[in-house]
Amino acid sequence: MNKTILVYATRWGATTETAQEIKNVLSEKYNIEVDLVNLKDKKKKENRNPDISPYENIIIGISVAKFRWAKEGKKFLKKNKGALAGKKLFVFVSSGGAGEAYQKRNIEEYERLQKKWIDNNLDKWGIKFTSRKAFGGRYVGQYSHLGDNRDWSQIRSWAEEVGKIIDSGELNC
């Protein structure tokens, strides 16, 4: 048994598309089946608090906007803090700021934002991850002129990295 769930918290849908792409890569390249759960799905209340006990591999994607994580992502991690120990945790964020730095190849700024949006939050709650990545996002509304700065080859190559680790089946200690 080496089951995988991908939960995500989105505001405007970019994280949904990124999550779907990761699911596709895992399925097509590694034959890994992924259960996709939108933590904010209004029609499915059970999605707000999914049971992760049957899963060894947890992937979580979180939207970053207005200088904060989508709150459902934070809630999920805090609530499952204990249950996550001993599982493999893979974390990604959709961050327009990180996407811009990555596009400009401003690696120092990109690394700073990746730490800010992923490592620092998880450190605060004592949660360890197996792998993580900050991706760009798609701006909407009054910011829509800033466009979509996701790099799909970056997304696919991280998904492959995740696939290799899941495929190896080694337990995370």
Question: Where does this chain bind ligand FMN (CB under 6 A)?
Answer: 10-15, 63-67, 94-98, 137-141, 143
Instruction: Decide whether 10 or 88 has the Cβ nearer to ligand FMN.
Output: 10
The residues facing 57 across adjacent strands are 4, 88
Residue 109 CB, nearest approach to ligand FMN (Å): 11
Residue 114 CB, nearest approach to ligand FMN (Å): 11
Residue 134 CB, nearest approach to ligand FMN (Å): 8
Instruction: Decide whether 50 or 96 has the Cβ nearer to ligand FMN.
Output: 96
All residues at 6 or more sequence positions from 41 whose CB lies less than 8 Å from its CB, including other chains: 47, 48
Tokens of residue 161, six digits: 């990295």
Q: What is the Cα–Cα distance from 70 to 75, expressed in whole angstroms?
A: 9
Tokens of residue 33, six digits: 């089946």
- Asked whether the beta carbons of 9 and 40 are under 8 A apart, the reply is yes
Residue 53 CB, nearest approach to ligand FMN (Å): 27
Q: Which amino acid is it at 94?
A: S
Instruction: Decide whether 10 or 130 has the Cβ nearer to ligand FMN.
Output: 10
Residue nearest to ligand FMN (CB): 137
Instruction: Decide whether 13 or 56 has the Cβ nearer to ligand FMN.
Output: 13
Q: Is 72 exposed, middle or buried (0-12, 13-18, 19+ CB in 10 A)?
A: buried
Residue 16 CB, nearest approach to ligand FMN (Å): 7
E-strand ranges in 18-128 read 34-38, 57-65, 68-69, 88-94
Instruction: Decide whether 4 or 10 has the Cβ nearer to ligand FMN.
Output: 10
